[in-house]
Amino acid sequence: MALSPAWAGWLAVLGILSILWYLAGEYRWLTQYPQDWIIPLRYWISDFMRWLVREASFGLFTFRELTRAFAWLLDIPLQACLHLLAHGIVLPLGEGGLRLPPLPWIGVLSAMVYLAWRVGDRGLVILVGCSFGYLVLFGQWQSAMVTLSSILVAVPLGVVAGAGLGILAYRHRSVEKAITPILDLMQTVPVFAYLVPVLFLFGFGPVSAMIATIIYAMPPMVRVTLLALKTAPVEITEFGRMAGCTSRQLMWKILLPASRHSLMVGVNQVIMLSLNMVIIASMIGAGGLGHDVLTALRRLAIGSGLEAGLAITLLAISLDRLSKATAEYQAKPARLRGRRGPLASVSIGVGMIAILAASYLVGTAMPSLAVFPQQFAVSTGPFWDELVRLVNIHLYDYLDAFKSTLLIYVLIPIKRALMEAPWPGVALLVGFAGWRLGGPRLAVVVTLLVLFIAITGNWRNAMISVYLCGISVIIATAIGIPVGILGASSERMHRLVQAIVDTLQTLPSFVYLIPVVMLFQVGEFSAIIAIVLYALAPAIRYTDHGLRGVSPEIIEAARMSGCRPWQTLAKVRLPLAMPAIMLGVNQTIMMALSMLVITALVGTNDLGQEVYIALTRADIGHGIVAGVCVAFIAIVADRLIGAWADRRKRLLGLT
């Protein structure tokens, strides 16, 4: 039986890879890229950045003065929010000055509950009230207000900048082509890599942390804006042109209002990513809840770390739901917005200001309503600490045996195999996969990205990253796909699974490290467990979505043909849902790579560790190159899986 050309090609490539693997024992340059061949890109970038900061000038002012002026402008609204919510204001009156306290907790909580009442339903009121009540009762209020101050400045700036770039890309095709690869890179570069240049250019402090947050959270807004404008109904656009609208009027009076619902998806993404960044940004001076989680991780204080992490999660969920409800409220006709009550007849803004002003006056007379008494605060920290202690006492031998078995018989052999893989053979294999799935152009792109990792001297660390990420993705997929199948089996299971997924996606990445380290100590095994937990959600969500998206007519035809439920699932629903499932695997890879850099704190020795070392040393060239290498691994996986999914859709007739 003759082999098809495709199979013959794969066998030839695998044969070449096997030969190179065999020769690697004699020719070490096949597995260890020679030092003399390395391009010193990291040093070129570091030299350029030093020149930019120390010598670059625009005549009237230097580049350093420009960055400091930009930071000063951003510091003005940030300090205003901090004084209003967290620190208070000191007026230069009398001896020592007159200190005005910040807004009382009872006022902020009441104003947020009032906002939820005006724009949402009873469920939103309960959610917001319980979330902000948790911040008060568990002693997280002060840190939460510091974090909220940064979010109140970073989110509007990220939304405005992202929407502006999206509009510009919509109007000019050349701009879209130019920013698309930049956006791809920004969304795949590890978050630590953002901190290195920002720290170098803007120094240490909350403003630098806020700038890094804006840069990290902005790309989704750009993409959503561009997509929303492109998918706006053609009839609306034609109507505007027939009415004589100019390009500006068409954009601001028709397209943007018509795309409001889609644009709010981008706003929600900016909010969630900004809150996901607060812990990482605390490394360069952000403070707030992120600093509390980071401090707890360093002290291995699981209780306080989980409480601060839960505070970030509740804050993220509350702001997300409030922003969605506010957008839906604004889209309603005025006659459908009615609420009964003493403050329902006034605008939302006036009502919130009235509540804050009244609570400020009451808080002046009753200090306990301004600052929650510490003696009434509660904490679950001792419970969690004692639970972990008991687990370590009674289950340590079993956990250690489980960990050792996996390391010896599975993880270490895979790691050694990847580290001994010849880089020319890997580049050939990836290039051939790109050619088979997407043609010559994709083959050239993915091959060049793989070779970039080698020629910059990061091959060994990259293979460790691939090992950690690959094992984690396999485990996350093996867990996530069955759970997604279970979620698609009934509406009740769907709601339960979605609640689990929403919780997993709102927990800050650092929170996963705390219990894992307490149970398994530092090392690569702990890193893999944390990555699996963090990257699990997309595999579940996309599997559930793909199975639920299969046409009911097709399922009914399968049943009429005599298929049993398991046959319908295995022979019909799963094959048709496979493109969506693979996109979930793709997102799992992206999240695993982003978490990989976070796990550098627990003792990994990969590209993530290189980025973290660069941050601690302020070595901008090293950090950027290592971060770009992680991004290139993500882009290679994204392009190959995306090409496979597109090809599969064409074969199934779904496009």
Q: Name residues whose C-beta falls within 8 Å of residue 425's C-beta, 6 or more positions apart in sequence.
A: 16, 17, 20, 21, 30
Written as one letter, the residue type at 384 is W
pLDDT at residue 393, rounded to an integer: 80
pLDDT at residue 435, rounded to an integer: 92
Written as one letter, the residue type at 593 is L
Q: What's 396-423+459-655's CATH class?
A: mainly alpha
Residue 460 has which token pair?
């060994």
Q: Give the span between the Cα atoms of 297 and 279, in whole angstroms.
A: 11
Full DSSP string of 523-563: SHHHHHHHHHHHHHHHHHHHHHHHHHTS-HHHHHHHHHTT-
Which sign does the torsion angle of CA 369, 371, 375, 376 carry?
Answer: positive
Residue 520 has which token pair?
């398994």
Q: Is residue 580 packed enough to be buried (19+ CB in 10 Å), middle (13-18) or exposed (0-12)?
A: buried
pLDDT digits (tens, 9 = 90+) for 114-137: 999 988 888 889 999 999 999 999
CA-to-CA dists, residue 237 to 80, 166, 563, angstroms: 41, 18, 48
pLDDT at residue 517, rounded to an integer: 77
> Which of 260, 276, 257, 277 has its CA nearest to residue 323?
260
Q: Residue 588: which H helix or E strand, with range?
A: helix 574-598
With contact defined as beta carbons under 8 Å apart, do 145 and 102 qualify? yes
With contact defined as beta carbons under 8 Å apart, do 258 and 236 qualify? yes
pLDDT at residue 244, rounded to an integer: 77
Q: Which residue has the tokens 């003759």?
A: 2
Residue 593 has which token pair?
């790579």
- Could you give the dihedral angle defined by the CA atoms of residues 147, 150, 151 and 153, in that order, rounded to the nearest 10 degrees? 160
Q: Give the span between the Cα atoms of 83 and 94, in whole angstroms.
A: 20
pLDDT at residue 275, rounded to an integer: 76
State how far Cα 379 lies from the chain centre: 29
Q: Give the span between the Cα atoms of 233 and 480, in whole angstroms.
A: 36
Question: In the 3-class helix/strand/coil scheme, how is 319-331 assigned residue by residue?
Answer: HHHHHHHHHHHHH
**What stretches in the chain show pLDDT beneath 50?**
1
pLDDT at residue 95, rounded to an integer: 63
- Determine the Cα angle at 276 with ends 222 and 468, to 5°: 100
Q: Is residue 32 packed enough to be buried (19+ CB in 10 Å), middle (13-18) or exposed (0-12)?
A: middle
Give the residue range(s) of CATH 1.10.3720.10 domains in the chain: 75-376, 396-423+459-655
Q: Give the span between the Cα atoms of 207 and 594, in whole angstroms.
A: 23
Query: First vs last Cα of the chain: how many Å apart?
Result: 34
pLDDT at residue 339, rounded to an integer: 55
Q: Name residues whose C-beta falls within 8 Å of residue 501's C-beta, 6 or more positions apart in sequence.
A: 537, 540, 541
pLDDT at residue 451, rounded to an integer: 93
Q: Give the span between the Cα atoms of 285 and 290, in whole angstroms.
A: 10
- Could you give the dihedral angle defined by the CA atoms of residues 28, 29, 34 and 37, in that order, rounded to the nearest 10 degrees? 170
pLDDT at residue 400, rounded to an integer: 82
- Determine the Cα angle at 478 with ends 472 and 484, to 5°: 120
CA-to-CA dists, residue 295 to 459, 510, 511, angstroms: 33, 11, 12
Written as one letter, the residue type at 223 is R
CA-to-CA dists, residue 13 to 7, 445, 458, 463, angstroms: 10, 18, 24, 20
CA-to-CA dists, residue 451 to 192, 467, 621, 623, 649, angstroms: 23, 18, 19, 19, 30
State how far Cα 431 lies from the chain centre: 29
pLDDT at residue 552, rounded to an integer: 81
- Determine the Cα angle at 319 with ends 317 and 323, to 5°: 120
Q: Which residue has the tokens 């990482």?
A: 280
Q: Name residues whose C-beta falls within 8 Å of residue 561's C-beta, 6 or more positions apart in sequence.
A: none
State how far Cα 456 lies from the chain centre: 27
- CATH fold for the domain made of 75-376: MetI-like fold (1.10.3720)
Q: Residue 60: which H helix or E strand, with range?
A: none
